[in-house]
Amino acid sequence: MSNSTQLNCKCGQVKLEVQGEPFLVSECLCTSCRAAAQRLQSLPGLTDMLTSYGATGCADFRKDRVCILAGADQLKDFRLSAEAGTRRVVASCCNTPIFMEMKGGHWLSIYLDLWPENERPKVELRTMVGDLDDASAVPNDVPNLKTHSVKFYGKLLAAWVAMGFKTPKFETGGTLDV
């Protein structure tokens, strides 16, 4: 892997490194991502996680290309419900959302807000636009998919194959009640 990028939470206690480029950069407009962002935004000091049209942006990296360098004990899980398969991981030291992880997933969706605005990976597509009651505010600068596409799942599968079908675990320091 030729390049790496160090990212950190707002206060700098949590540091992570990503190797190479993300295999996908997207914005999600699903009901769950929007609901989670709205709940997390109630935390002190957290800025708006959503775009003006309600999307959350993430860069997807294989788990074997992400390393927590410092502050792992500050990472806390947030789930919309006890049964939710998706967890959002937040740096509890300053309430910075760090990544999202699907249960059993081989990748981490790292929130784009961790990158300085001028260095952010460019969004390639938007997913779950069909969850919006009115999508008229969503720009047409990239493909706006009603759900997930075959190409989307193909990228996930290709990344998993490249990892030898492994699903590394990322431990956190507990749960965050919001």
Residue ranges per structural domain of the chain: 4-162
3-state class (DSSP) for residue 103: coil
**Which CATH number applies to 4-162?**
3.90.1590.10
* pLDDT tens digit sequence for 66-116: 999 999 999 999 999 999 999 999 999 999 999 999 999 999 999 999 999
CA distance linking residue 14 with residue 7, whole number of Å = 8
Taking residue 114's Cβ as centre, other Cβ atoms within 10 Å add up to 23
Query: The pTM is what?
Result: 0.92
CA distance linking residue 88 with residue 48, whole number of Å = 15
Report strand pairing: 75-78 vs 66-70. Answer: unpaired
> Is there a contact between 54 and 30 (Cβ–Cβ < 8 Å)?
no
CA distance linking residue 83 with residue 58, whole number of Å = 23
